[in-house]
Amino acid sequence: MMKRRVIIGAPALAVLAVLSTAMLFGQDIKTFISSIGGKPALAVVDFPGAGAAAPLMAAFNSTLFNDLQNSALFDLRPKGFFPLGSPRTAADLRPEDAGGGYALKDWAGALVNASHLVFGYAGVTNGVLALYGNVYDTRQDAQTAQLLAQQYAGSPDEAGAINLAHKFANDIILRFGGTASLLDSRIYFTSTRGARNQFGTEVWVMDWDGNNQKQLTHLGGQVAYPAISPDGSRLAFTIWPGTGGQPIIGMVNSETGRSISFYNQKASLNAAATFAPDGTHIYYSSSASGTAQIYVAGIDGGGFNRVTSTRGNPTEPKVNPKNPDSLLFVDGFPKEQIYRMNAEGSGIERLTNGEGEAANPSWSPDGQHIAFAWTRGYATGDFNIFVADIGSMQDPIQLTHSEGRNENPVWAPDGKHIVFMSSRAGKVMQIYSMLANGKQVKQLTTQGVNKYPVWGVK
């Protein structure tokens, strides 16, 4: 039997995986970590609003600032150092040797020291909130400094203002080379909110920043370990139907929560499903052979085949998004460790050093780095989040320190953020996000008990 803690959702640690093919090695973890953080220095002025737009601008300005800060691409300059007054339109900018208006050098020099200026304004016309956003390079003349000038239209309410801020921030991020916008992503997780009994949990979904939290499923059981398909259309999970039922794999439409048929082979346990990168089949743990082993099956559960034949209880398979022949999994009793194998079950090698416990492996989107939680030899329960590159397990970077139990790390589509669950605010688990260097930790949930986050595209 698989260890009970693996099934009912106790400690989850995710470790790294090693690919033996040297050509797949990317930058090492220290280089990767040092690259996370702002490079261009942005001065983001508060956008004014005319007429009916004025009361909406506080929500717009705070959202724009937070989106850019959370992108990990920029160094946002303190607004307290800005010059008095700021431009609204390109016409407000003046050449350095001319009088009146605003010169870009006012933001390029001390005390602001910004490389780029973000400015604009908004107004309501014919019942539409119109936004005009600009990004200028402060190191150039006003005539050649324009990097971005865009118009946006939305509903004349706070929700519309927030949406326009997201869109403008997204365009800025893309203009500076950012990819996989978080605006087009969601976080799925399990929550006790909306459950039909005291032991029940349901799948919930929220925006990447914690907003718009909604219940997705109404299954009436205990749900754990959600996994999102590569295209974001399907969500698989482990569920104990009703009370006292055996764990099986369930699947729903990620937009509507409507159930999708999935065949569970006869076993006391079918759990911990994960999608292959092409979305056509899944890997999961099943006790169909007597003890828990890893199986592969079609997207509907049919055509299943056993992959592993180990003495332990292998579970939690995770497929490298860039190399479908490389899988991570968790195995071992009484101390779980992380292993790697080929897709057909050969070439098994242990990646962790046997110290402490490790589980819940999570690949970065580029398939080059791993996030994981680790006890690192300390008392059981002292889990922290680490990251490492796939080329070496010798020198992982610790991201959380002495703040409760921190488990189940999962990468965001942008490869720069990680979502995880933590008891740092008390004994109750909540969902948090942070940069992949451990900075900018943000609590996303506050009500109920919330676990097992997974980040996917819309």
For the stretch 283-319, pLDDT in tens is 999 999 999 999 999 999 999 999 999 988 999 999 9
Other CB atoms within a 10 A radius of the CB of residue 319 amount to 25
Residue 5 has pLDDT above 50, yes or no: no
User: Could you tell me where in the chain the CATH 2.120.10.30 domains are found?
Assistant: 4-33+184-457
Residue 216 has pLDDT above 70, yes or no: yes
Map residue 319 onto helix, strand or coil: strand
The CATH classification of domain 4-33+184-457, taken from the options 3.30.450.20, 2.120.10.30, 2.60.40.10, 3.40.50.740: 2.120.10.30
User: Does pTM surpass 0.95?
Assistant: no
User: Could you tell me where in the chain the CATH 3.40.50.10070 domains are found?
Assistant: 41-175
What are 267's two structure tokens? Answer: 């076993």
Map residue 21 onto helix, strand or coil: coil
pLDDT at 238: 97
Instruction: Tell me the CA distances in angstroms from 359 to 216, 315, 454, one per residue in order.
Output: 27, 9, 15
CA atoms within 13 A on the CB side of 173: 25
255 pLDDT band, cuts 50/70/90, is very high
* Mean pLDDT of the 48-73 span: 94
CA atoms within 13 A on the CB side of 98: 12
Burial readout 272-293 (b: 16 or more C-beta within 10 A, e: otherwise): bbbbbeeeebbbbbbbbeebbb
Phi and psi dihedrals of 291, rounded to 5? -110, 160
Instruction: Tell me the CA distances in angstroms from 360 to 128, 223, 453, 454, one per residue in order.
Output: 47, 16, 12, 11
Residue 243 has pLDDT above 80, yes or no: no
d(CA 152, CA 162): 12
| Topology, domain 41-175 | Rossmann fold (3.40.50)
